[in-house]
Amino acid sequence: MAVNLQAPETLLPVAGVRLASVDAGIRYKNRNDLLLIELEQGSHTVAVFTRNAFCAAPVHVCRSHLQNGSPRYLLVNSGNANAGTGDLGMQAARECCEQLAELGECWAEQVLPFSTGVIGMQLPVEKITAALPEALAKLDENGWLEASRTIMTTDTVAKAISRQVEVFGETVTITGIAKGAGMIHPNMATMLAYVATDALIEKDILQRVLNEVVEETFNCITVDGDTSTNDSLVVMATGSSGVYVGSEGLPAFQQALREVCLYLAQAIVRDGEGATKFISIDVQGAATRVEARAVGNTVALSPLVKTALFASDPNWGRILAAVGRSPVEALDVSLITIWLGETLLIEKGEPAATYREELGAAETKRDEIAIRIDLGRGEASATTWTCDFSYDYVKINAEYRS
């Protein structure tokens, strides 16, 4: 089960956005697996995508369509990633766009396709296109909750949140959904996520804000070190509220967007495949933020650290070893101090005189664990969020295609 994470009970509609979820029978039985999102004309849409060289066909198509058109529809399927599918996969993604464009009376370039699921299987285009009329007929501004469930794969909990922010005394709404539990690691966003707002904001400003927010949220999480072929994060601004977010209102809007993205990012880690512990790794005293992130990622990716924490074993030598092998030039261990929760482990490179095994054991028994590392070489800092490795992680991934 997810660590201290509950599925949302309500979400706020965003004016100018309608959603529909239907059962296309792509892979799962008796559940919705196709999501359609309709945007009001004039909406601005920005995105960031995976940097995986084997990126999926829909990622290629989305990048192209975002350059050439103003999206009216987003089409998302679960159960099939349409990745590693070659030219046929590209044709399939484009055909889905063309079929939806014909029914929705827009250009094919105004459709953005997204897929998540098993890699290496051809997309069942006929199942998707057959479900499009039903999806168009069901479009509703209150479709967010079902949408959050529709995009799930190995997720155990739907991930979604709404926030409202005051800009010059007027209310702006932001609602977002995400999916992701495994194949999670920074190199963009490591999942699928869709965030909408009714704010009126220029496209280039929205893209800049998104890029900055991603670096503080989705690029700070890892479950297993694998970056997906399909990672996509989309932010849609309809402008329907009429509230213009310019330079003066931007800080408040950006903070609200950051809160939405941080919640979704941490929700992915809390629902990491087989996770029983939520772990934050705070690295401070680094020469640069890049350096701090490198240390945090090394600790977060250590299977030995993750399995020890799953077992509630205060084997802090594993943390020490991970810090020591971090890709940081001329790391001086005599400057390093490490805490596990409130318990001091290492002080200036030496074992802490106050440490006792029972103190470390108490920290590792918590379902939320904090590791703090001070490198003693600068003022930069960064936080990485991860989870433990349990028996279930292996089971889930061993049986994923069965």
List the catalytic residues.
Answer: 190
How far is it, in rounded angstroms, from Cα 313 to Cα 102? 59
Q: How far apart, in whole angstroms, are the C-alpha atoms of residue 304 and residue 365?
A: 16
Closest C-alpha among 67, 71, 80 to residue 100: 71
Contact assessment for residue 26 and residue 80, using Cβ atoms and an 8 Å cutoff:
yes
Q: Provide the residue type at 23 as one letter.
A: D
Token readout for 49 is 């995508």
Of 258, 340, 336, nearest in space to 292 by CA: 336
How far apart are the C-alpha atoms of 311 and 318, rounded to whole Å?
13
**CA distance linking residue 271 with residue 3, whole number of Å:** 6
d(CA 158, CA 248): 34
Q: Indicate the length of the chain as a whole number.
A: 402
Q: Give the residue among 386, 353, 391 at the shortest CA–CA distance from 371.
A: 386
**Strand partners for 266:** none
> Would you tell me how many other CB atoms lie within 10 Å of the CB of residue 373?
27
